[in-house]
Amino acid sequence: MLVDTHAHIELQEFEKDREGVLERAKKAGIKAILTVGIDLDDSKKAVGLAERYSMVYAAVGVHPHDASGITPETYEELKTLARAEKVVAYGEIGLDFFRNRSPKDMQIKRFGEQLDLSVELGLPVIIHDRDAHKEIMDMIECYKGKLTGVVHCFSGDYEMACRCLDLGYYISVPGTVTYKNSVMLRDVVRKIPLERLLVETDAPFLAPEPKRGKRNESSFITYTAGKIAEIRGVPYEVVATRTTQNAGDLFGI
């Protein structure tokens, strides 16, 4: 069994065949899917899906792309959503200096506010980090001992991974680990303890080989787990069992 610890099955891309996606996931041995909100409205949809489907859990939060649109009322509504039984994390939040859809200073301000909110809610945090390694690490190090979570779609090097582990965070590995040019990510996967790895799809994005270029979905996570097993030289079942246990340890799934 596997847990897809980061997907976006609430998005429009899955409107026409969401139940088929979930059924294919079950047949592929997927135990649970964590669908992750990217803004307030999207978080509401994620919570709604978690209430509707037994294998779906939810995270709520505002992605850095939408940091400029956050108001005090946004946070109050997110607090209410976070009380739902199957909300197991706060996110995805963080910094994205690649697309810069919100100004950098605003992203940093809102990231700090949402880290504070994660502490208040007592939820693990799901962190988005794109071209912002230094700023991400500087900020989460201020919460050492107060907050834990996962750096999703990890794109840093082994040194950064070790810093994350020291802070109590998990490293989440997406389908990009199957790409030929993912040398740095494979190095991280090879070296860090299996006890701190999670697997994810980030569906509908980042489909693994040999599905690259297609809409990603949770059933494809088997390719990611298989590549991790190959890199580490262990049976697939070892990766599946351990990463599922890790998801339980972090999210209570």
In the chain, the number of structural domains is 1
> Does residue 208 register a pLDDT over 90?
yes
In this prediction, residues 65-80 reach a mean pLDDT of 96
Q: pLDDT band at 160, cuts 50/70/90?
A: very high
Contact 59, 91 (CB under 8 A): yes
Phi and psi torsions of 233, nearest 5°: 70, 40
Name the maximum alpha-carbon separation found in the chain. Answer: 50
101 band by pLDDT with thresholds 50, 70 and 90: confident
Q: What is the pLDDT of residue 24?
A: 98
Q: What is the rounded CA–CA span in Å between residue 16 and residue 143? A: 41
Q: How far apart are CA 226 and CA 244, in angstroms?
A: 14
Q: What strands, in cross-sheet order, belong to the sheet with 170-173?
A: 2-7, 30-36, 56-60, 87-96, 125-130, 149-151, 170-173, 197-199
- From residue 125, give the alpha-carbon distance in Å to each of 4, 23, 51, 182, 217: 16, 28, 21, 25, 23
Question: φ, ψ for residue 149 (rounded to 5)?
Answer: 165, -145
Rounded CA separation 79/87 (Å) = 11
pTM, to two decimals: 0.97
Residue 137 predicted with pLDDT over 90: yes
Inform me whether the pLDDT recorded for 133 exceeds 90: yes
State the alpha helices, DSSP H only, in the chain.
18-27, 40-52, 72-82, 104-121, 133-140, 158-166, 183-191, 221-232, 236-251
pLDDT in tens, 15-24: 999 999 999 9
pLDDT of residue 215: 98
CA angle 205, 208, 210 (to 5 degrees): 130
> Is 99 a residue whose pLDDT tops 90?
no
Q: What is the CATH number of the domain that holds 157?
A: 3.20.20.140
Structural domain boundaries, residue 8: 2-251
Q: What is the mean pLDDT of the chain?
A: 97
Percent helix, percent strand, percent coil in the chain, to nearest 5: 50, 20, 30
| 49 pLDDT tier (thresholds 50, 70, 90) | very high
User: Is the pLDDT at 100 greater than 90, yes or no?
Assistant: no
